[in-house]
Amino acid sequence: MNQREKEAYLREYSILKAQGKPFFPYAVAKDSLMGLLVVVVIIVLSLLFGAQLGPKASGATTTYVPRPDWYFFFLFQLLRVIHPPGFLGVATIGIPTLGMILLFLLPFYDRSAERRIERRPIAVATLVFVVVAMALLTLRGAAAGSPTALTISAPAAVKAAGKGAVSEFYAGRAASSDVGCGACHTIGTAGNPGPGPALTHVGSRIPLAGIERTLVNPTAPMPSFKGLPPKELTAIATFISDLK
């Protein structure tokens, strides 16, 4: 926008403003009506759906699904979709930060004087892209976060080791399902493809002791599971190390 365009805009605007109505009472009436509607909607939502309180946080739990409030689903899902190995930090914080910076600076790189949306094709394309992407990510995030039950069956090596090993495997599988490893890892066909790596064959890469160490002292964003009862921790570690 150059000086001439700025002045033209201000001139035009002062005419339109002069031809308008006073804020009080016309805009005030509309705003108040809208404010009333907002409060009514909140009251109705509260009456219909209320507020739940889950089980008390213990830090050592057997049932959890790390799910934020729905308006963060798109962010969570974004982190699941984009997880280049080695660049996790860039993806997790980098992409949202980049989005924020682009949003902040919008008035400084979109400097055209045109305001009519039908003559701003790039703005329309961006708007459509962002809205569709956020809607899809939110929907998929809503579908993905829920139960992370594992379905993988015992590999041949475990079966060969006898009945005891097989039942240990399934006990560990149940514990891992409950704790929700699938929220961040793929195990067999279940679980989310990130932010953690797939664990389907992790046992061939990391020994039992290494897995136990990971569970107690992991790299962020994986939470530590050192609060779990030792028996459960061992069951999970054994199950994971059986995945070869």
Partner 1 sequence: MSEAPPRPRRRRGPRLPKPPVPPAFLPRPLPPGTQRGAPRTALDHAAESGKVVVDWIDERTQLSGVTRWVMFRKVPRGTNWFYTLGSATMFAFLAQAVTGVFLAMYYRPDASGGAYESVRYISTSVFLGNFVRGMHKWGATVMVVLVFLHMARTFVWGAYKYPRELNWVIGVTLLILTMIMGFTGYLLPFDERSYWATIVGVNINGTGPVIGPYLSDFLRGGPEFNATTLSRFYAIHMLILPGAIAGLILAHLYLVTKLGTTAPPWVKATPEEPALGEETA
Closest of 167, 148, 151 to residue 159, by C-alpha: 167
Answer for which of 59, 147, 162, 210 binds partner 1 (CB under 8 A) is 59
Contact string 89-108 vs partner 1 (x = CB under 8 A): xx-xxx--x--x--xx-xxx
> Using CA atoms, how far apart are residues 198 and 181, in angstroms rounded to an integer?
10
Min dist. Cβ of residue 90 to partner 1 (A):
7
Residue 152 in contact with residue 176, Cβ under 8 Å? no
91 in Cβ contact with 79 (< 8 Å): yes
22 binds, among partner 1, ligand HEC, none (CB under 5 to 8 A by kind): partner 1
Partner touching 240 among partner 1, ligand HEC, none, CB below 5 to 8 Å by kind = ligand HEC
CA distance 183 to 17: 54
CB of 71 to ligand HEC, least distance (A): 19
CA 23, 26, 32, 37 dihedral sign is: negative
**Which partner in partner 1, ligand HEC, none is near 15 (CB below 5 to 8 A by kind)?**
partner 1
Distances (CA, A) of 75 to 30, 67, 72, 94, 118: 34, 11, 5, 12, 30
Listed residue (113, 140, 139, 153) closest to 239, CA to CA: 153
- Applying CB under 8 A, the span of 16-24, 158-166, 169-177, 203-211 interacting with partner 1 comes to 16-24
Please report whether residue 49 would count as binding partner 1 according to CB under 8 A.
Answer: yes
Choose the stretch contacting partner 1; rule: CB under 8 A; options: 42-50, 154-162, 204-212, 231-239: 42-50
Residues that bind ligand HEC (CB under 6 A): 66, 88, 176, 179-181, 183-185, 195-197, 199, 202, 205-206, 211, 214-215, 218-219, 221-223, 225, 236, 240
